[in-house]
Each structure stands twice: as C-alpha cells, then as structure tokens.
C-alpha cells in the first residue's frame, strides 16, 4: 500500500471533541480552518482524513474505502460490519435507552406495541431477546417526536445529558447499552500494512477507555 492510511471520521456532534483529542495525542488532524472550508478530505500528518456521516463510517471501513475509522457503538450494533475493533474511545460517551411517553403501560404488558428508532435491526433483536413482540418503526432523526406525537409510545434512542427527555416530558425506562465510539480497522488493510496499522492503533491508544470500563451491551 503506497498511499497514506485513510481514516474515516464521523461528522456531527462527535467530530470537534474527537479532533481535539486526536490533536492532543499528537496527530496533525484537521482543525478549525479546515472544517470551515467544507472540504471532506484532508491529507495531513501522514494520514488522509475523510469526513463522512456517522452511519457511513462502518461502510467505508468494511468496504476498504477507508483503512480505519471511528464509529459509534450504536452504528456497529446496528450494522454489525466485518471489521477489527481494537478498543473504545473515551470521548463522546452516551447511552442507548428505551424511552416512553408519560403514562404508558410497561412494554411487556402491551400487545404488539410500536417502538420507533434509528436502529431498527438492533432494536428488533433486542426486543426478540426480551420476548417482546413489537412493531419497530425506522426513523432517520428526531426520534423523540414519535413519542410526543403519538406515532410510537416507546422509542429507542441515544441519550447524552437527558435534556431532550425532560424537555419533551418523556420517561427514561432503561439503559440498553453504554455507548462509546470505537476505533475500527479494515481487515485487508491490516493484512497488507500491519506495521502501519499497528502504529496507528498505538497512537490512538491514549484515547482508549480503560479495559474495565469498556462499553458493552447490557445483558439485563
């Protein structure tokens, strides 16, 4: 592999704190002026950085368009890509939660309840493991509105501070998973350039969550 390693980063709320941590770790990662240019590809510090939607990071890495990337555990649970996952990063951590409209009966007591989410595949599997027969509605954004407007009495969504839940007078029912972004690596890139990939992993390791705090799917 003659070109620089290509790293896919997620646009959105995670990007700026992630870039700040990468720069603090010694990477010549894109900074403010770069981001203001609206460019999506940056050749800096011996790496090629690409900015894509968070849901697309696993796709770019699995298909080999990027050698490595940072993807939220929520997207990895939903997509289950065939990639290497060295570790979770201690940045942008949040929770994937089951949330209800106020006054709704317990999920297990309802007959075929509707659950809205941006993660339909994962949610169906989670409900199946709980032996709950439900209709899962896939949404692209503002999932909380589904509960507010009566589309679905329950939603599965990310919660960072809980402000959105309080503003819309919803109820947090339970945490399904503790979510943190993960470093992911294309398998073929590791086969072709193991030394360079190991160097990248070593550099990013300073951002890793300690082993005993690693984000995992809750078993309850």
Residue pLDDT, tens place only, 71-84: 999 999 999 999 99
Instruction: Please write the tens of the pLDDT for every residue from 135-159.
Output: 999 999 899 999 999 999 999 999 9
Q: What is the DSSP string of 189-220?
A: HHHH-HHHHHHHHHHHGGGBPPGGG---B---
Per-residue DSSP letter, 108: G
In angstroms, the CA 35 to CA 16 distance is: 9
Please give the DSSP secondary-structure letter assigned to residue 89.
B
In this prediction, residues 200-216 reach a mean pLDDT of: 77
Please identify which residue in the block is written with the tokens 């620089």.
4
Structure tokens at 178: 């503790």
Same-domain check for residues 117 and 168: yes
Assigned domain for 203 exists? yes
> How does residue 211 score in pLDDT terms, banded at 50, 70 and 90?
low
Query: 164 and 62 in one domain?
Result: no
- Count of domains observed in the chain: 2
Question: Would 219 be classed as within a structural domain?
Answer: no
83: in domain? yes
Assessment of whether the complete model's pTM goes beyond 0.85: yes
Q: Are residues 12 and 88 in the same domain?
A: yes
Q: Which domain holds residue 110?
A: 94-178
Shared domain check, 190 and 84: yes
How sure is the predictor about 38, in pLDDT bands with cuts at 50, 70 and 90? confident
pLDDT at 212: 43
């Amino acid at each position: 592999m003659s070109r620089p390693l290509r790293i896919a980063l997620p646009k959105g709320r995670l990007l700026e704190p992630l870039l700040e941590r990468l720069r603090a770790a010694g990477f010549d990662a894109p900074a403010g002026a770069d981001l203001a240019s609206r460019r999506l590809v940056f050749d800096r510090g011996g790496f090629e950085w690409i900015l894509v939607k968070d849901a697309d990071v696993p796709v770019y890495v699995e298909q080999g368009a990027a050698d490595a990337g940072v993807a939220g555990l929520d997207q990895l649970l939903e997509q289950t890509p065939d990639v290497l996952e060295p570790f979770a990063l201690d940045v942008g951590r949040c929770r994937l939660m089951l949330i209800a409209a106020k006054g709704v009966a317990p999920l297990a007591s309802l007959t075929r309840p509707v659950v809205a989410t941006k993660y339909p595949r994962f949610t169906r599997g989670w409900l199946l493991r709980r032996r709950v027969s439900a209709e899962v509605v896939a949404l692209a954004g503002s999932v909380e509105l589904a509960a507010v407007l009566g589309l679905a009495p329950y939603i599965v969504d990310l919660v960072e501070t809980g402000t959105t839940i309080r503003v819309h007078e919803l109820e947090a029912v339970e945490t399904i998973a503790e979510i943190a972004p993960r470093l992911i690596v294309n398998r073929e890139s590791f086969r072709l350039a193991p030394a360079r990939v190991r160097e990248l992993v070593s550099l990013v390791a300073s951002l890793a969550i300690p082993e005993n705090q690693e984000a995992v799917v809750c078993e309850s």
